[in-house]
Chains A and B, each alone.
Chain A
């Protein structure tokens, strides 16, 4: 009798579990489905049948975007901005984190708290003075005008992640290196950095996704569409084509494709990086 009811509970629980997973997956995937297919439909078909497969697969919306030099310039701008941001954050944050983890100096705890403070405040709290500062430096409409704020706002979290990792490196390694006459600088470049590939990847991915998707800094700092990264290009395209949703959906599909492919290949680091590795700590 008891075994029977237990089985029944197990059975209904299993149905509930699959039901939950299926419904949630449908909720998540439906917008993707509509978007990707939408680009293959005509405007009229999109209106009559947003959900189903297209009757005729129209590729013109996709082709128009793929052969437009604007698309590639914009993606190029994004690659440049993101590339520099990631490189700078990795170098600056790892160096700073190393001084916190391996060099004892007066006031280092205060300095560390000072940097970590940056994690709590969204870029929006600083956006107006930042705009004025970038303008006064003559960096509006330049890549640097977007890269520098992105680097600055990426530092805090990265320093936290790097420091946690560096502190877990075996202490003997460091002492042995010092005894052998290997200084702090060489120890960092020759031993710490090569041992830190997992954390470099994690932080790199975290900064990469933030920078690639960032909209607010380019929105404020860039006015000249020749330096627009893709999120601004997307919004400009949307403004240009208004209600031609098939084009816009095609454009969205093309711009999210790199992110999705990258995600499938680097899942492990993306999940670690985007959850801030915070779960472990």
Chain B
């Protein structure tokens, strides 16, 4: 008797599996899942999630990356982090990254908003200006950097023309540790304000005309309409653009490459990612570079989660 139950049990398992599959595969549901999920998830896991996690592991080692980690790597605990946190160039890099955020909030976003209010209504002239303002954004960061590298050139560029016109001595802003990073900030505003303007314009165009008309009938001045009606209504667009400018500041790198070499004069123009590049990649210190990457990762994560939690989710 017992010998007979085994095969029947096995077949009942197979039957159950089969019937489960058929029940769930109506319309090819399971087949589609099996075909559609793995390719994207594999690529994403292999080249995004895994490397980010590996940064976490490498950050505890002293390792040049040319041998296997188990052979060439030496466990150093938190020493990479300690070294980084004590490095004054790293402090400069963090401060400069914060400066990008501050300049965005104080100058770039208000400029973007002012311009957006000026060109939001639909007309041919406005459309032309919008195109002009957005133009720098479609350039590659390296191109924007290189163009301004010429402008800032004290020997041949625009700065040279200005200094010679006023008979001043040649001035190289990018070679001056007090000026280098401020000069870079100008390029940041030049390249990105048009992007934020577009976000605001889309927000402004979503405001119904009735609302504005009603405010006008109530005798509100144009200025009051902007402050009391338009700005509160496009707060979702504003908080989004703040989010993008902070994330952008945290990953600021490519534009700096053609502008200044190895962080500029005395490392005064480093940001977090150029610091990572200079001290991790150029000097092939995988462990140290990974420690910088971990800090960058944490900064992104903490900012993104708290911004989502406290700003994006609030009721408007």
Contact = CB atoms under 8 A, between A and B. Distances in A.
Interface of A: 9-10, 13, 17, 20-21, 24-25, 27-32, 34-35, 38, 43, 46-47, 49-51, 92-93, 95-96, 98-99, 103, 105, 111, 114-115, 117-118, 120-133, 148-149, 151-153, 155-156, 159, 178, 182-188, 209, 212-216, 220, 231, 234-235, 238, 243, 245, 248-249, 252, 255-256, 259-260, 263-264, 267, 270-271, 274-275, 278-280
B119 A21 contact: yes
A267 B55 CA distance: 39
B49 interface: yes
Contacts of B33: 99, 103, 105
Interface string B258-272: 100000000000000
Contact of B300 (A17, A46, A122): A122
A213 B139 contact: yes
Given A132-B286, A133-B50, A216-B254, A20 B27 contact: no
Contacts of A118: 44, 48-49
A187 B45 CA distance: 27
B303 to A, nearest CB: 8
A263 B195 CA distance: 14
A99 B115 CA distance: 41
B37 interface: yes
Interface in B161-180: 161
Q: Which 10 A-B pairs have the closest CB atoms?
A: A122-B251, A152-B47, A213-B140, A126-B51, A183-B28, A129-B51, A129-B54, A279-B202, A92-B40, A96-B40
B250 interface: yes
Given A31-B148, A213-B142, A215-B140, 19 more contacts: A9-B222, A28-B190, A28-B194, A32-B147, A38-B150, A92-B40, A96-B37, A96-B41, A117-B49, A120-B304, A125-B297, A152-B44, A152-B46, A153-B47, A184-B29, A184-B32, A209-B138, A243-B156, A275-B198
B221 interface: yes
B33 to A, nearest CB: 6
A185 B156 contact: no
Interface string B136-162: 111111110011101101011110110
Contacts of B304: 120
Nearest to A99: B36
If over half of B's interface residues share one DSSP class (helix, strand or loop), that class is named, otherwise mixed; here it is: helix
B133 interface: yes
A111 B37 CA distance: 10
A47 B297 contact: no
A106 B241 CA distance: 34
Given A126-B48, A184-B27, A220 B296 contact: no
Contact of B161 (A29, A51, A130): A51
B43 interface: yes
B95 interface: no
B281 interface: yes
Nearest to A181: B27
A24 to B, nearest CB: 6
Contacts of A123: 251
